[in-house]
Structure 1
Amino acid sequence: MTETDIRDIVIIGGGASGALTAWNLAVRHGVTCTVIDPSERPGFGLAYSTPSLQNLLNVAAKGMSADPDDPDHFLRWLHDNAPGSVAPGEFVPRAIYGLYLRNLYSIAAPEHERQAAVACRRLDRGFEITLADGRKIHAGRVVLGCGHFDPARLPGIPPELDVTGRYRHNAWAERVFAGIAVYDEVAVIGTGLTTVDVLLRLRENGHRGRVTALSRRGLFPERHADYTPLPAPVFTPGGIEPTARAYLRAFHGALKRGADWRAAVDSMRSVTNALWLMLPDAEKIRFQRHLLRRWEVVRHRMAAHIADILDQERRAGSLRVLDGRVTAIAPDNDGLTITAVAGEEEFSLRAAHVINCTGPSLKYKRVDAPLLHDLFEQGEIMPGFGDAGLSCTPDGALIDHAGKIADDLFVVGPARQGVLLESIAIPEIRCQAKEVAEMLVNGNAP
């Protein structure tokens, strides 16, 4: 029989969510935990493991402190560890931020189990976690910090296309740029921040061919620019009817009164999730259908000089942007044929390579994650709103199939998008990590 190790607090996932939770446990409470993650370098996760210095944070350095109580924490770390000076309003490479997270992880010094967790079963007291190598760990309390998963498989694109070497299902896979020649025509699906990163990496690797970006609306993120912050959100929970239409009307009203749109968007950061939680389900669906992409475009902005690069590419014709929903991709003699629909009109184009830049999947029942499938099968976890993320309280206590709120099983990070609108950025994750660490130590969970 495999010997079972006994641990108190176990965090599954070693990206930003796991690293910040471990750091909060250590520096605020003097508690050491165990982190289960197959990576040899926990702390980086998917977002901050990029090797490219062209892939920048989309929040200025002054807003990226890991400590919600110490806004200058990251700036001081940069001063002490990065060569040269970094201005508070500068957008630093994500790879640098990854080193910062890795440093915090090292300070926390958790015990690291370099394996994937493949199962987690509830016991009379605590949980039994099975690792990929067959070992079992007994945990008193568990935090899921699983991060992001591969994009969902798009309709009309069969898995067999992956073996052609011309279709890349995941823009973050290690060999995504392998085999792309200097002047190959490349098509990317999506016009979000992932597409921006891929374009920059292609050019950094010496690619000079045309890149065609396809998405339903053809909208890239807006650019950052200086503005005078507003003293308060343009509207707040309780002071407005909880409907998507009322929210849009109130926001437009602030713009008509002279508010800078960037200032108005950023003023909402502190109340976005509270406003979201007030909406009835029918209004959440309406917001997602009609307003979510518009919100994302203005909310998740690009550094100004990155936006300048895209503008130059578009003017030069080396970046082409087309409105269209991809319905099929098929191999031909020396490339791929992409079929798309814009409105009621179907069109096609050819490319040597296609990269899926639609972003991580939040449909957790469909992702390739044995641990989540095991927890779903047991009824320990349930999908969140719209089958996205996980069902949990706003402060991260997971809810099982019977509606019971756990006091020993929590989630930090993207999976909370099953209940929250904002849960993927550091300003949200740092607060979640601090609060969950407090609940784990002081036992004040719901």
Structure 2
Amino acid sequence: MTIERQHVIPTVAIVGGGAAGSLVALHVLRCAVAPVRVVLLDRHGSHGRGVAYANDPYEHRLNVPASRLATSADRPQAFVEWLIAAGADPESEPFATRAQYGTFLEEQLAAAATGASAAGATLECRAIAVNDVVSREEHEQLILDDGTSIRADAVVLALGPPTAPADPTLRPDTPQSFPSPWEPDALDAPAPGSTVLLRGAGLTAIDAALALLRAQPDLTVQLVSRTGELARAHAGGGAVRAVDAAPAPHLPAWLQETAPLAWSSVRAAAVDLAQRHAAAGGDERDLVDALRPHVTALWQRLGPQEQAAFLRSDLRAWEVRRHRMAPSVAARVAAFRASGHIQTTIGRVAAVRLVNEGYEVELRGAPGGRVVVQRIIDCGGFGRTDRQSEASLLHTLAARGRIEPDVHALGIRSDAEGRVLASSGDTQLRLAVIGALRRGDLWESTAIPELRSQAEQLARVFIAPLLSGAGAES
């Protein structure tokens, strides 16, 4: 095995080149005052974009207004300014496309690398998978898919959410059943008059439905989910300043406390707060947005059993209010529902059989119980960290005790600064995590504002101290 050696310049390796990993790289480069080598590794080569912000042809819209998507807290309007310079009008359409944001991230990353070059900092973007991260006495060793390895002084896992394995119930071994909408050909135009079944009704399913209907207008898309609820819409009105300027509702003082909570008590208080806010003429969306800064503290005050109660009974009710559609997207969805092109069904897929017309799907809990469709796409959301394939990096690290799933298997355990906790409970001083894999500890850990805050913290608290003592040959 070939080991890359860097005897003088310290190395930061970031595994995952999507938004989370790119934000870490960006902030390390912006903070650089001495030579540092930043290596951004992405198995798909999608540095800066990842899956979420790919340069796709479907014009998927973000579900967060542009004014909240800056890469740095000291330039909160950076993305808005970028859109204006690119000829867009964020006043009339504050929800940019995902592809636009991906381009913005790419350019911000490139600019940070250029600016840091004066300090001797470099950025390497490599399209390769990382198979393992091995702890050595004074460094970390990343084992790459081509048999080489990288010696690093600090490693950040920016892998995104755990993937769900293909569900054999959906017959993913057949040509028109896809384990995710990002699979090749999944969103290609079906034959006219077809019906496509999407399992799930979240924002990913909405994006997939709109992409399919754009490719084939003569189509019925059936969204099957446990509740049948779709995401609410953001407030309209257009102007960037109007989206951010809504007055915050009055929140109760107990949100500032630290005592443990029962989910039943939190739920009752939230319902009462929502009713009083509505009675005063308030908008539910303003209340949800005002609660957002308190969500992590609330999640941590619940404790594992009470968190499980929330996940079991009220997760979807929160998600449809917290993760909302852009107004223009919501309007298109409403029009397609009115015309029958998008249909929602409460139930779950119990069995799938091949028939001459395509697939006969048995839906448990749904009226009618059976539907014949020509394509199936699983849009069911995140997987669990305790059910990863043996080929995955997460499985490899867990098998050796380097990481441990959190109690709900939403992600992996870490300390307050993002340093990974081993299965022994020990803090690993050279290995950190960002983003969706911190959901079990923080809950709010997937949106750009949270990723930006975590990236800034990692650059300042985790990486900078390691680099100050690195660089000597060992």
TM-score, structure 2 length as denominator? 0.87
CA RMSD, 1 decimal = 2.3
Specify which of 101, 104, 122 is matched with residue 105 of structure 2: 101
Specify which of 160, 173, 182 is matched with residue 172 of structure 1: 182
State the one-letter code of the partner of 1:276: W
Q: Report the number of matched residues.
A: 440
* Partner residue in 1 for 2:441: 419
State the one-letter code of the partner of 1:433: A
Equivalent residue of 1:270, what SS?
A: helix
Question: After the TM superposition, which of the residue ranges 89-98 and 425-434 deviates more from structure 2?
Answer: 89-98
TM-aligned CA distance change 1:369 to 1:276, over 3 Å: farther
State the one-letter code of the partner of 2:388: R
Equivalent residue of 1:386, what SS?
A: coil
* Partner residue in 1 for 2:399: 377
Specify which of 196, 220, 229 is matched with residue 230 of structure 2: 220
TM-aligned CA distance change 1:358 to 1:193, over 3 Å: same
Residue 68 of structure 1: how far off its partner (Å): 2.4
Equivalent residue of 2:53, what SS?
A: coil
Q: Structure 1: how far apart are the matches of 2:92 and 2:15? A: 33
Instruction: State whether structure 2 residue 388 is matched by structure 1 residue 327.
Output: no
Instruction: State whether structure 2 residue 145 is matched by structure 1 residue 132.
Output: yes
* Partner residue in 2 for 1:70: 75
Residue 231 of structure 1: how far off its partner (Å): 5.9
Question: After the TM superposition, which of the residue ranges 306-315 and 238-247 deviates more from structure 2?
Answer: 238-247
State the one-letter code of the partner of 1:347: G
Equivalent residue of 1:105, what SS?
A: helix
Residue 241 of structure 1: how far off its partner (Å): 5.8
Residue 32 of structure 1: how far off its partner (Å): 4.0
Instruction: State whether structure 2 residue 234 is matched by structure 1 residue 230.
Output: no
State the one-letter code of the partner of 1:248: R
Question: After the TM superposition, which of the residue ranges 281-290 and 64-73 deviates more from structure 2?
Answer: 64-73
Q: What do residues 39-81 of structure 1 show as CA deviations (whole Å, max 9, x unaligned)?
A: 334110010005135310001111111112321121122222x
TM-aligned CA distance change 1:104 to 1:89, over 3 Å: same
* Partner residue in 2 for 1:2: 2
Equivalent residue of 1:431, what SS?
A: helix
Equivalent residue of 1:85, what SS?
A: coil
Instruction: State whether structure 2 residue 208 is matched by structure 1 residue 198.
Output: yes
Specify which of 248, 253, 266 is matched with residue 247 of structure 1: 266
Q: Structure 1: how far apart are the matches of 2:155 and 2:276? A: 48
Equivalent residue of 2:153, what SS?
A: strand
Specify which of 58, 61, 66 is matched with residue 61 of structure 1: 66
Residue 252 of structure 1: how far off its partner (Å): 2.1
Equivalent residue of 2:23, what SS?
A: helix
Q: Structure 1: how far apart are the matches of 2:391 and 2:287? A: 39
TM-aligned CA distance change 1:215 to 1:50, over 3 Å: farther
TM-aligned CA distance change 1:241 to 1:389, over 3 Å: closer
State the one-letter code of the partner of 1:188: L
Q: Would you say the 8 A contact 1:337–1:348 is kept in 2? A: yes
Q: Structure 2: how far apart are the matches of 1:328 and 1:100? A: 43
State the one-letter code of the partner of 2:334: D
Q: Structure 1: how far apart are the matches of 2:58 and 2:188? A: 19
Specify which of 286, 293, 304 is matched with residue 281 of structure 1: 304
Question: After the TM superposition, which of the residue ranges 396-405 and 230-239 deviates more from structure 2?
Answer: 230-239
Residue 114 of structure 1: how far off its partner (Å): 2.2
Equivalent residue of 1:236, what SS?
A: helix
* Partner residue in 2 for 1:301: 324
Specify which of 169, 175, 181 is matched with residue 191 of structure 2: 181
Q: Structure 2: how far apart are the matches of 1:324 and 1:231? A: 36
* Partner residue in 2 for 1:113: 126
> Any unmatched runs of 5+ in structure 2?
114-122, 237-242, 468-474
* Partner residue in 2 for 1:92: 96
Residue 201 of structure 1: how far off its partner (Å): 0.6
Question: After the TM superposition, which of the residue ranges 425-434 and 110-119 deviates more from structure 2?
Answer: 110-119
Residue 305 of structure 1: how far off its partner (Å): 2.0
Question: After the TM superposition, which of the residue ranges 368-377 and 416-425 deviates more from structure 2?
Answer: 368-377
Q: Would you say the 8 A contact 1:335–1:352 is kept in 2? A: yes
State the one-letter code of the partner of 1:111: E
Residue 334 of structure 1: how far off its partner (Å): 3.0
Q: Structure 2: how far apart are the matches of 1:195 and 1:360? A: 13
State the one-letter code of the partner of 2:150: I
Q: Structure 2: how far apart are the matches of 1:163 and 1:288? A: 31
Q: Would you say the 8 A contact 1:314–1:320 is kept in 2? A: yes
Q: Structure 1: how far apart are the matches of 2:371 and 2:55? A: 30
Q: What do residues 244-297 of structure 1 show as CA deviations (whole Å, max 9, x unaligned)?
A: 122222222222323421111000111111110111211001111111110001
Q: Would you say the 8 A contact 1:5–1:136 is kept in 2? A: no
Q: Would you say the 8 A contact 1:65–1:74 is kept in 2? A: yes
State the one-letter code of the partner of 2:48: G
* Partner residue in 2 for 1:437: 459
TM-score, structure 1 length as denominator? 0.92
State the one-letter code of the partner of 1:244: W
> Any unmatched runs of 5+ in structure 1?
none
Q: Would you say the 8 A contact 2:162–2:437 is kept in 1? A: no
Equivalent residue of 2:138, what SS?
A: coil
